[in-house]
Amino acid sequence: MFSYRHAFHAGNHADVLKHLVLIHSVQYLQEKDGAIMLIDTHAGAGSYSLRDGYAVISQECHGGIDRLWKSPELDQPDFRAYREALSHFNPTDALDIYPGSPFILAHLLRPQDRLRLFELHPSDIGVLQKNIATLNKRSQIDVRQQDGFTLLKSLLPPPSRRGLILMDPSYELKSDYRAVESSLNDALERFATGTYLIWYPVLQRPESKQLIKRLHTLCEEFQRPWLRAELRIAHSVSEKRLQSSGVWVINPVWTLAPFLERTLPILQRVLGEDTGAAFDLETSSPT
């Protein structure tokens, strides 16, 4: 159950897509003053060294954030907030640290916002707690070694009725696919108006294909708007490494679709490795 360590994958193309969507969505919600509850059901270790340890073995960041970091495209306005988050944790020009979603969300917290983190891994929970303890905003952050799937509902609805939930499982267990669906079902019953961002790998396995159908059905049942964005960086028949991933967003902020219409072609160009590089963007209503 615990063979997955996000440190192997930190800063890869999937992190780039997911974190761009995350930052854009949070910043849009923060245009209003009301407090926001941010929930990360699968937090990981919080922050990762890209220059030693697991990241050096996998080198996945070379096909992700390292490419974007060196690209002039990072200077474009749509990438500014992502760049600022990265620079905050890398004060010199070198990109040595990749902030995971807990660090990115912590960076975005305003005084009135709160962040709730779930992480089950027996080693990563300790790393996450230590990492969060280094942050100035730690008093606004709660870290729990509990199952994010089952305990999400216990935090909903947030007192302010404003919230964004990131659900980012490793899909290490086949049962994760079903757990996403049942956890979201419980969550939407309590808090139908929250923004939910679900990350998923695009794989040939049936569970992966069925997940999208189930998310679609769930959104229809709850009559919620949705957005699906996928990015493929290469196309090889082998699935030895992840080549494509997506985000499904329930109640997306209205600026997210135009934002992705502008940024996905750039990501395809900068991160794409062969002619199989592609993106796909779909929404429940015309953009």
The nearer residue to ligand SAM, 104 or 250, going by C-beta atoms, is 104
Q: Is 233 in the site for ligand SAM (CB under 6 A)?
A: no
Looking at residue 279, its amino acid is: F
Q: How far is the CB of 170 from ligand SAM (least distance, A)?
A: 4
The nearer residue to ligand SAM, 40 or 60, going by C-beta atoms, is 40
Report in angstroms the alpha-carbon separations of 244 from 23, 199, 274.
Answer: 20, 11, 13
What are 133's two structure tokens?
């303890």
The full 3-state SS of 165-192, as one line of letters, equals: EEECCCCCCCHHHHHHHHHHHHHHHHCC
Q: How far is the CB of 25 from ligand SAM (least distance, A)?
A: 14
Sites for ligand SAM among residues 141-200 (CB under 6 A)? 147-149, 168-170
168 in active site? yes
Q: Which of 121, 162, 214, 224 touches ligand SAM (CB under 6 A)?
A: 121
Q: Is 42 in the site for ligand SAM (CB under 6 A)?
A: yes
Q: How far is the CB of 223 from ligand SAM (least distance, A)?
A: 28
Q: How far is the CB of 34 from ligand SAM (least distance, A)?
A: 25
Q: Which of 69, 118, 177, 200 touches ligand SAM (CB under 6 A)?
A: 118
Question: Which of 161, 146, 167 has the alpha carbon at shortest distance from 247?
Answer: 167
Tell me how far apart the alpha carbons of residues 230 and 112 are, in angstroms, rounded to a whole number. Answer: 33
CA angle 285, 194, 189 (to 5 degrees): 100
Tell me the CB-side half-sphere exposure of residue 205, using CA atoms within 13 A: 13
Residues at the site binding ligand SAM, with contacts judged by CB under 6 A = 4, 6, 15, 18, 40, 42-44, 100-101, 118-121, 124, 147-149, 168-170
Enumerate the active-site residues: 168
